[in-house]
Structure 1
Amino acid sequence: MTTGPAVRSVLVKVPATSANLGPGFDTLGLALSHYDRLVVSETRGSGVAVHVNGVGAGEVPTDESNLVVRSIAATYRAAGVPLPGLRLEARNAIPHGRGLGSSAAAIVSGVMAAKGLLERRVDFTPDQLLAVATELEGHPDNVAPALFGGLTIAWTTSAGPSHKRLLVHRGVSPVVFVPETTLSTSLARSLQPASVPHEDATFNVSRSALLVAALIQSPELLLAATEDRLHQSYRASAMPETDMLIRVLRQAGLAAVVSGAGPSLLVLGSDPAQRLLAAQLVAENALSAWRPLMLAVDLRGATVNAHPVEN
């Protein structure tokens, strides 16, 4: 369906994210300097036109079922404003199905696009943006860092989701290794037990607290702080090469963890030299192709700016 001429456009930029970070299951998330970009135009007509370039081209839906479109629609509903015609031009770089928050990025792209298109008509608070995004994603651990950047601690109360954003120590040097294989979040979650031993829960509480301190103040503690007993070992059978590489890296003193639900792995180096060592060890021990992404911590989170209208 044609959407007619554009009346306003916005440019949205959203970072990749890595959740859990080892012990911080469903709570801690980190924004990374790898981005999806999207130009969204409100048009005078009706309907939706979606064009995807880069990751997901030819694979993701290009109609109203597209996740970005659904997120825009949900944000307009929350604002009580009818959905206009829309035209989307996406340039995606975040890998899909690999534990780097691609679905969270799509959701946050839609929420931020709606925020930008509704500027001067509707004002959204950060908590409102987080609430809409969390309702779509199901949990806030990826959408919080995608929205706000940095290291985020996310939690949910009866009043809805909340977050605390923290600045990461400048010595922390992330590197992500991305495999060719994918893993669905739902499959990864299905491998979790309904309950865990008390000593394992206590172990993770201590490591999660230590991890916050390591990331914001004491990077030399990252190896001990990224130990986990709640989720990674249970999911190892679904991503054996990831598990093997994490063991190799940790034995070499590197803070390696599963990125999100996997199968990508994240190394939180305490200095840039550790990233080079990690890349060398992965190259020497991997059984298949893994793409290294030498990244920084994204400090801004998602951004939205006016974009020249093109018809």
Structure 2
Amino acid sequence: MIKVRVPATSANMGPGFDSIGIALSLYNTFTFEEIPRGVEIISYDERFNNEDNLVYLSMIKTMEKVGHKVGGIRITIESEIPVSRGLGSSAACIIGGVLGANELADSPLTKDEILKIATNIEGHPDNVAPALFGGLVTSIMEGKEILHNQISVAKGLEFVALIPDLTLSTSRARSVLPKKIKYEDAVFNVSRVALMISALSNGDFQLLKYGLQDRLHQPYRSKLIPDFNMIMDICIENDSLGTFLSGAGPTVMALTNDFDGDFTNRLQKKLNNLRNKWTIKELKIDQQGSVIFHGD
């Protein structure tokens, strides 16, 4: 029996559209067991208990790649990462399936090869890279190659995820983006990316309220999220270091000093007055990335 634990991820971090993501302390755990024949998938939601399951599809694609076959498979999914909320649930399933298949085949793949397979399935590396490696990761596609690099983050940050009781598909979030952007908006984002990375690395967290600003996707996607601007104002009024739309949304991520223990309580009182229910989760940066366990 093989278990794979994969962290949640928050991609498109601030101005880092399609290029920067971070792994966070919220997890999905996937258990893989060989059985004589057939496919059994056990999860929290019966909609996913079939052969269209992304974990299973990712596993099969990986096995085809390495030339390994099994008689049958049982996959058990324990999920903490909410689906279609901008926290990398799809990336977690893909990485879980690829790693599970690699372990069943006696680990022929390197981590870079695993990343390449996962990126081919996902379409882009900004979620799967931090899900695999952990920490803050910048990644690009250069032809057929995936280039990535981990960025050190100074200690003292907490990520507060504001998760609404509504979903937003990536395809819908993509559909509202413009085909072209203004030159000044490109310059705006490039300069903010540089400021964000330097502030995170050096611990100059007071600069994050500027460094996390974005003009490439957040102004367009925010219109799909009820009370988005009000939530951003609430975070600022309660001394958030900075806020950004997590992934394609609808989760909003607020950063705070990890010694500000009352931040969540202040936020929750304000969020209770909004039309949707918002759940708050206090998260840390996950530095391990995906972890594999063998045996019971």
TM range (shorter): over 0.9
- What does 1:288-303 align with in structure 2 at a 5 Å threshold? 288-303=276-291
The answer as to whether partners of 1:242 and 1:258 remain within 8 angstroms in 2 is: no
* Offset of residue 252 of structure 1: 4.8
Q: Which residue of 2 aligns with 1:144?
A: 129
State yes or no: 1:28 paired with 2:20. Answer: yes
What is the one-letter code of the residue matched to 2:187? T
- Unmatched 5+ stretches in structure 1: 1-8
| Shift in CA distance, 243/116, structure 1 to aligned 2, threshold 3 Å | farther
SS at match of 2:222: helix
Aligned partner (choices 177, 192, 205) of residue 177 of structure 2: 192
In structure 2, the residue matched to 1:3 is none
Could you say what secondary structure the match of 1:105 adopts?
helix
Shift of 1:253: 4.6
Structure-2 residue corresponding to 1:168 = 153
For this pair of structures, how many residues does the alignment match?
A: 292
Is contact 1:167–1:299 with CA below 8 Å preserved after alignment?
Answer: no
CA–CA distance in 2 between the matches of 1:271 and 1:38? Answer: 30
SS of corresponding position for 2:281: strand
Aligned CA-pair RMSD: 1.6
CA contact under 8 A between 1:179 and 1:290: conserved in structure 2?
A: yes
Q: How does 1:1-311 map to 2 (within 5 A)?
A: 9-43=1-35, 45-53=36-44, 57-60=45-48, 62-119=49-106, 122-218=107-203, 219-250=205-236, 252-254=238-240, 255-273=242-260, 276-277=262-263, 279-285=265-271, 286-287=273-274, 288-308=276-296
Whole-Å separation in 1 of the counterparts to 2:233 and 2:12: 17
Distance 1:258 1:148 in 2: 22
Residue 43 of structure 2 aligns to a residue whose secondary structure is: strand
**Overall identity of the aligned pairs, in %:** 39
- Within 2, Cα distance between the matches of 1:148 and 1:164? 10
Q: 1:125 to 1:263 in 2, by over 3 A?
A: same
Q: Tell me the SS of whatever aligns to 2:46.
A: coil
The letter for the 1-side match of 2:120 is E
User: One-letter code of the match for 1:68?
Assistant: V
TM-score with structure 1 setting the length: 0.89
- Report if the CA contact (8 A) 2:7-2:289 is conserved: yes
